[in-house]
Structure 1
Amino acid sequence: MSASPQSLDAWLEKQEVVKDTITAFPLAALAATLDRTEAGDVVPPMWHWLYFLPVSPLAEKGPDGHPKRGGFLPPVPLPRRMWAGGRLTFHEPLKVGERAVRTSTIANIEDKTGRSGRLVFVTVQHTVEVGGELKIEEEHDIVYRDAPHPDAPPPKAAPAPEGETWRRTIQTAPVLLFRYSALTFNSHRIHYDYPYVTGVEGYPDLVVHGPLIATLLVDLVRRELPDATLQSFAFKALRPTFANHPFTVCGKPCDDGKTIDLWAKDHEGYLTMRATAAIA
């Protein structure tokens, strides 16, 4: 499959509308997965990713387990794709029983060349509404990359910051990845298929989901500041995190009392994700 930057631009402004009913079971299942006890009917921030799931026939899967490209997302001709980051604004929480509507728009497509080869960044804008009332705004960044070259040097890693106020270590047993994949109907093979992720995509082990790490960073804030209200959250994935090694989520409140600096680091102390939260 080949696609020029000009042909990819034909996907700009393409829209998709998905409706879903906010049900209780996914919340209970993710709470159990994250060792939390959730009460009430309010969807915690970041847990809206349990809804509006892409349900595609198995016959339409691509070689990486995702649906074949060229539907809503553009047919980027690069084999590896990752959730690169995002920016979210939370206006009002979703509640169990509500009928919600998510409108998604392809907002930007950027074709670049980096040290590892060609990179294509796709930004998708989402709005989530209930009865015409805006609940969540989100920008979702996806990066597509070339296959790894066997002689390519490993990407440069940066050490994580020090001086965190909060920290929590997460054990990345494959069952955690399996549960999160199941809850988000994510069939991307890098999260569960060891022969594929090591032999085809060239990673040393199963890859921990970027949105799971982002959710755990917000979860750290919720554990430390249970009465705070999350207003916005922005994150950027910097380096893959791999299964069968623990990683740590860290946080440090800023002097303004409203902003929290957040990051994740792997078992070697390298920075894997950077984030900022704003609370009220």
Structure 2
Amino acid sequence: MPIDPPTLQDPTTTQDWTTTQDWPALQDWIGRTEKATEVLTAAQVQRFLATFDRDGPLDDGADAPLLIHLCLTQPAIRASALGPDGHPARGGFLPPVPLPRRMWAGGQFTFHAPLRIGDRVTRQSRIRDIQQKQGRSGPLCFVTVDHRIEAAGRLAVTERQDIVYRGADGPPVPVTSDTAPAGVHQRMIRPDATLLFRYSALTFNGHRIHYDAPYATGVEGYPGLIMHGPLQATLLAQMAADVAGRPPSMFRFRSLSPLFDTADVMLNASPDGPDDPDGANMALWTARPGGPVAMQAQASW
């Protein structure tokens, strides 16, 4: 199952905003960098494993769980610098996009070496690109960020993060309404408020759509709390490693439609086509029962 460029709303044509005051300012953010460092502790790993209802070693030097780097080196923004949605106010490392809704549209991870408990982890981030497009329900702005994760002097993870900004007119339009197929391997997850809150806490993510139901439904117009994109990606990456018996060397994903705490979520995995007899690639996806594909992913070994 090939992964196409990330999108939430089938953008059609690139919008020429060069005549407005916003576009040149946003272009100035390309090439900006940020660096942060944090020690990966056994306590962090324990909380991560508890959130995902998994077991794992907690000894110094033991390999840490897959995608725990998303919970490390996150910006600690003062409360007075947050916007009404719980996100940091516009500006800083990310560009001040004049669209109110921000979501993680997709990304790719390449795993070079495992993180280990006790490692001093450094994240170096750089804004690669900014593009503005016109979607079916209005303007969109895509920001691509590259991350380089190093631990104890070795390269551990390289990551591409795709962020989309959109207008405030209701939830994003699903790319497809077709019912998702069933995978060869399936696992049911209940994205209740406790899971979403704990993952928000792990990642120090103040975005209120994930834990504040009155805000998510009454202000942003969603039918319930939204399941994080990185949370879905982590669950699918864990499933890929469980099915294959070893962690993948590469994992990429894109969001097609949102998932909410109003229904259970099915994790699906299947061999990636008849031309892959050695099982070097695996297709994965999430969906609510009877619903369309919400996140599409591919793992490779």
TM (norm. structure 2) is: 0.87
Q: Deviations over 1:201-251 (max 9, x none)?
A: 22111100010001000111222233x231000000110000131011100
Structure 2 SS opposite 1:128: strand
| Kept after mapping to 2: 8 A contact 1:45/1:90 | no
Q: Which of 211, 214, 239 matches 1:220? A: 239
Q: 1:105 maps to what in 2?
A: 126
Alignment of 1:144-155 (within 5 A): 144-148=165-169, 155=174
Of the two structures, which has the highest relative contact order with CA contacts closer than 8 Å and spacing of 6 or more? Answer: 2
Code of the residue aligned with 2:56 in structure 1: it is E
Q: 1:28 maps to what in 2?
A: 46
Partners of 1:109 and 1:160 in 2: how far apart?
33
Partners of 1:78 and 1:108 in 2: how far apart?
17
| Kept after mapping to 2: 8 A contact 1:178/1:192 | yes
Mean Cα displacement is larger for which, 111-120 or 252-261? 252-261
Q: Which of 271, 280, 284 matches 1:262? A: 284
Code of the residue aligned with 1:113 in structure 2: it is Q
Q: CA RMSD in A?
A: 1.8
Q: Deviations over 1:153-182 (max 9, x none)?
A: 954533254251111010111111011011
Q: 1:76 maps to what in 2?
A: 97
User: Any unmatched runs of 5+ in structure 1?
Assistant: none
| Kept after mapping to 2: 8 A contact 1:3/1:77 | no
Code of the residue aligned with 1:99 in structure 2: it is R
Percentage of identical aligned residues: 44
Partners of 2:152 and 2:21 in 1: how far apart?
39
Q: 2:17 maps to what in 1?
A: none
**CA 1:257–1:173 in structure 2 vs 1: closer, same or farther (change >3 Å)?**
same
**CA 1:163–1:174 in structure 2 vs 1: closer, same or farther (change >3 Å)?**
closer
**CA 1:33–1:131 in structure 2 vs 1: closer, same or farther (change >3 Å)?**
closer
Code of the residue aligned with 1:259 in structure 2: it is N
For the pair 1:52 / 2:70, whether they are aligned, the reply is: no
Structure 2 SS opposite 1:120: strand
Q: 1:166 maps to what in 2?
A: 185
| Kept after mapping to 2: 8 A contact 1:45/1:230 | no
Mean Cα displacement is larger for which, 169-178 or 253-262? 253-262
TM (norm. structure 1) is: 0.93
Alignment of 1:141-220 (within 5 A): 141-148=162-169, 155=174, 157-220=176-239
For the pair 1:16 / 2:34, whether they are aligned, the reply is: yes
**CA 1:153–1:16 in structure 2 vs 1: closer, same or farther (change >3 Å)?**
closer
Q: 2:259 maps to what in 1?
A: 241
Mean Cα displacement is larger for which, 105-114 or 131-140? 131-140
Q: 1:251 maps to what in 2?
A: 269
Q: Deviations over 1:245-268 (max 9, x none)?
A: 101110012324110001111133
